[in-house]
């Protein structure tokens, strides 16, 4: 594997609407990100991915872009953006923006022109098909619930395709003119000095051009649209072209949001010559998704499944490249709530979870607020949700006669709004996020969980994260933590998450007791050093280690060969 500049970096995702508001309108903004660059630098972050900040009607919080060449005024100006890139560079922080090109907004000029004349050239920029006697052309269900087809106003039987909300029409990647427009835009941004892009919904860009129905998988008679990705061929050409035209010339970092891909696609996605620099390791962190149906989502996750998927995934990847390891993002509930049973939440469990993620092979990605242990919000009322996908779920399940009480519970624990409540900076009103009225309710626990308090407290989660990142990047262990192989150890123990990183004649064994009870592990090795812990006073009795609840220990063994 060729060495790349981003291999040993630590990344941080910002959801800009909820990060830091500087002008009191209740919405986070670019000056807010600039203000917090020193905080990120101090944490040890090298790469910052910012969810979309482009002009948008905000139907899906910016994942519906109406102008790719401008900043939405709610976030600031292009001057702010230029300054952010500059200030980032001064601190050794690369900025990644979010590349949303499976679809644009229905307010984008291309789409408006297409709607005025669906048979004209801009009609070819989208997927426009005749319906079946006024009904959609096929039974594809959008990610957000209803049909993936919406009728074009003024036409009896013409529909356009949208994998997500109706206000997010899918761009026609088969049209070379569309691809050119996209590449031109990406290069324009790369010229500004970005480190690269996170690439949204990218596995959706290839459609099944036979437009056949999908097997029915719900009471609505439809089939989930993502299933076409698993059967269509030919996405390779688009992805490789995107990389060649937009990323290779700038040595840019492109990380794909590639969900539910098969083994073969995974192997082609990363590493030398891959479609992307990296992709997110969703397999292990999505184990709570038992089926397509939201009602089957589990909470909290099943430890054993999580562990199993993690190692299966590493086995598949081997040494071909790196995936990005994550605990959460803006599409997920809070990791601290999802991975840790509520009764066990605290410094020990959150720091153990972070260590398990950070010492694996792959790029660590922090989602804003994880570094202080932010949790799901409790007590959501229906009218407090802002996310269109969450609201769509209420509508969908009501319409199809599901047990509403059960649905409300699943939504409360799994709504993406849990991950989107504003960042908790201090214990002043609204957690120091804004002096105005926040666009989304702040989690009431901001008085206990906030950055300022944790900066003051030596043994806080925040200070632990700094120590963990410093360990990951230390001269002594950076090489093995980045490039070392990974394999599971002590798998016969319940609730022990343990693995070996090995490189040359050095090896590191991480052993973590991920449950609320003490556990004793009989060690199979004699170690030279204990090099990282999350709790004080590790107890050893002979070759046995007595692990306290959520205790993690990293041992070093030298001269293994
Ligand atoms: C994935 C993004 O992460 C999510 O927030 C968005 O709703 C969809 N893609 C559509 O762009
Ligand atoms: Ca603002």
497 CA to centre of own chain: 22
Whether ligand 1 lies within 6 angstroms of the CB of 417 is answered as no
Q: What is the pLDDT of residues 382-440, one digit of tens each?
A: 999 999 999 988 888 888 888 888 899 999 999 999 999 999 999 999 999 999 999 99
Atom of ligand 1 at shortest range from CA of 103:
11
Of the ranges 4-8, 288-292, 508-512, which one carries the lowest mean pLDDT score? 288-292
Q: Which ligand is nearest to the CA of 167?
A: 1
**What is the pTM for the complete model shown?**
0.98
Among positive and negative, which fits the CA dihedral 263, 264, 268, 271? positive
Is residue 314 predicted with pLDDT exceeding 80?
A: yes
Is residue 61 predicted with pLDDT exceeding 90?
A: yes
Cβ atoms within 10 Å, residue 465: 25
Q: Which ligand is nearest to the CA of 329?
A: 1
Label residue 279 by pLDDT band (50, 70, 90): very high
Label residue 145 by pLDDT band (50, 70, 90): confident
Label residue 7 by pLDDT band (50, 70, 90): very high
Q: Is 200 a catalytic residue?
A: yes
Label residue 470 by pLDDT band (50, 70, 90): very high
Q: Rounded to an integer, what distance in angstroms lies between the CA atom of residue 150 and that of residue 395? A: 17
- Dist. CA 16 → ligand 2 center (Å): 10
Atom of ligand 1 at shortest range from CA of 416:
5
Whether ligand 1 lies within 6 angstroms of the CB of 164 is answered as yes
- Dist. CA 389 → ligand 1 center (Å): 10
Label residue 513 by pLDDT band (50, 70, 90): very high
pLDDT higher at 104 or 296: 104
Count CA atoms closer than 13 A to 182's CA, side-chain side: 28
C-beta of residue 13 within 8 angstroms of C-beta of residue 366: yes
Whether ligand 1 lies within 6 angstroms of the CB of 226 is answered as no
Whether ligand 1 lies within 6 angstroms of the CB of 200 is answered as yes
Average pLDDT score over the chain: 96
C-beta of residue 201 within 8 angstroms of C-beta of residue 164: yes
- Dist. CA 433 → ligand 2 center (Å): 10
- Dist. CA 63 → ligand 1 center (Å): 6
Q: Which ligand is nearest to the CA of 25?
A: 2
DSSP states along 459-528: TSHHHHHHHHHHHHT-TTTHHHHHH-EEEE--TTSTTEEEEEEEETTEEEEEEEE-SSS-EEEE-SS--S
pLDDT at position 294: 82
Question: If you search the block for the tokens 């948008």, which residue do you land on?
Answer: 56
Percent of all residues in the chain with a pLDDT value above 70, rounded to a whole number: 100
Which of 16, 201, 393, when mutated, tests ligand 1's pocket best, judged by the most ligand atoms within 8 Å of its CB?
Answer: 201
- Dist. CA 462 → ligand 1 center (Å): 28
Which of 331, 387, 391, 419, when mutated, tests ligand 1's pocket best, judged by the most ligand atoms within 8 Å of its CB?
Answer: 331
Give me the catalytic one of 29, 98, 257, 387.
257
Is residue 131 predicted with pLDDT exceeding 80?
A: yes
C-beta of residue 527 within 8 angstroms of C-beta of residue 503: no
Atom of ligand 1 at shortest range from CA of 164:
10
Closest residue CA from atom 2 of ligand 1: 200
Q: Is 475 a catalytic residue?
A: no
Q: Which ligand is nearest to the CA of 59?
A: 1
Average pLDDT over residues 530-543: 93
Q: Rounded to an integer, what distance in angstroms lies between the CA atom of residue 363 and that of residue 325? A: 6
Whether ligand 1 lies within 6 angstroms of the CB of 60 is answered as yes
Residue 307: phi, psi to the nearest 5? -60, -45
- Dist. CA 138 → ligand 2 center (Å): 42
Is residue 249 predicted with pLDDT exceeding 90?
A: yes
C-beta of residue 17 within 8 angstroms of C-beta of residue 370: no
pLDDT at position 337: 98
Is residue 165 predicted with pLDDT exceeding 90?
A: yes
Whether ligand 1 lies within 6 angstroms of the CB of 331 is answered as yes
Label residue 346 by pLDDT band (50, 70, 90): very high
Whether ligand 1 lies within 6 angstroms of the CB of 527 is answered as no
Average pLDDT over residues 223-234: 93
Label residue 559 by pLDDT band (50, 70, 90): confident
Give me the catalytic one of 80, 200, 204, 387.
200
pLDDT at position 237: 97
Average pLDDT over residues 222-238: 94
């Amino acid at each position: 594997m060729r060495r790349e500049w981003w291999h040993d970096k630590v990344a941080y995702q910002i959801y800009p609407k909820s990060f830091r508001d500087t002008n009191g309108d209740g919405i986070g903004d670019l000056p807010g990100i600039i203000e917090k660059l020193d905080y990120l630098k101090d944490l040890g972050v090298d790469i910052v991915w910012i969810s979309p900040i482009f002009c948008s009607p905000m139907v899906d919080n910016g994942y519906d872009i109406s102008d790719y060449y401008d900043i939405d005024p709610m976030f600031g100006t292009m001057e702010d953006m230029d300054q952010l890139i500059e200030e980032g560079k001064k601190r050794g922080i690369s900025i990644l923006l979010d590349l949303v090109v499976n679809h644009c907004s229905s307010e984008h000029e291309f789409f408006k022109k297409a709607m005025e004349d669906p048979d004209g050239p801009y009609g070819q920029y989208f997927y426009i098909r005749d319906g079946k006697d006024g009904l959609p052309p096929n039974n594809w269900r959008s990610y957000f619930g209803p049909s993936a087809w919406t009728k074009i106003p003024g036409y009896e039987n013409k529909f356009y395709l949208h994998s997500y909300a109706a206000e997010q029409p899918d761009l026609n990647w088969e049209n070379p003119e569309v691809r050119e427009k996209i590449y031109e835009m990406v290069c324009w941004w790369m010229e500004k000095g970005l480190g690269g892009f996170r690439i949204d919904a990218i596995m959706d860009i290839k459609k099944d051009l036979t437009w056949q129905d999908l097997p029915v998988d719900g009471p609505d008679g439809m089939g989930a649209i993502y299933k076409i990705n698993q059967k269509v061929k030919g996405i390779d050409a688009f992805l490789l072209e995107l990389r060649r035209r937009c990323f290779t010339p700038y040595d840019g970092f492109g990380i794909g949001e590639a969900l539910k891909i098969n083994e073969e696609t995974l192997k082609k996605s990363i590493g030398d010559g891959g479609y992307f620099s990296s992709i997110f390791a969703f397999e292990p962190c999505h184990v709570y998704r038992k089926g397509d149906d939201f009602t089957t989502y589990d909470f909290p996750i099943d430890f054993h499944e999580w562990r199993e998927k993690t190692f299966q995934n590493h086995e598949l990847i081997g040494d071909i490249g790196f995936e990005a390891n994550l605990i959460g993002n803006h599409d997920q509930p809070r990791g601290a709530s999802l991975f840790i049973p509520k009764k066990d939440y605290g410094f020990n469990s959150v720091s153990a979870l972070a260590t398990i993620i950070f010492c694996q092979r792959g790029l660590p990605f922090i989602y804003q607020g994880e570094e202080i242990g932010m949790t799901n919000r409790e007590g959501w009322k229906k009218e407090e949700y802002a996310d269109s996908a969450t609201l769509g779920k209420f509508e969908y399940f009501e319409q199809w006669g599901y047990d509403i009480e059960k649905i409300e519970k699943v939504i409360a624990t799994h709504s993406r709004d849990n991950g989107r409540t504003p960042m908790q900076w201090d214990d002043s009103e609204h957690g120091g996020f804004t002096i105005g009225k926040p666009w989304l309710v702040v989690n009431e626990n901001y008085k206990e969980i906030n950055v300022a308090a944790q900066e003051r407290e030596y043994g806080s989660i925040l200070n632990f994260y700094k120590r963990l990142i410093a360990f990951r990047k230390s001269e002594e262990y950076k090489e093995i933590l980045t490039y070392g192989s990974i394999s599971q150890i002590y798998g016969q123990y319940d609730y022990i998450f343990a693995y070996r990183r090995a490189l040359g004649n050095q090896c590191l064994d991480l052993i973590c007791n991920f449950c609320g009870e003490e556990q004793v592990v009989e060690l199979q090795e004699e170690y030279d050093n204990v090099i990282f812990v999350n709790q004080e006073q590790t107890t050893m009795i002979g070759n046995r280690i007595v692990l306290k609840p959520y205790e993690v220990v990293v041992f070093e063994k030298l001269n293994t060969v």
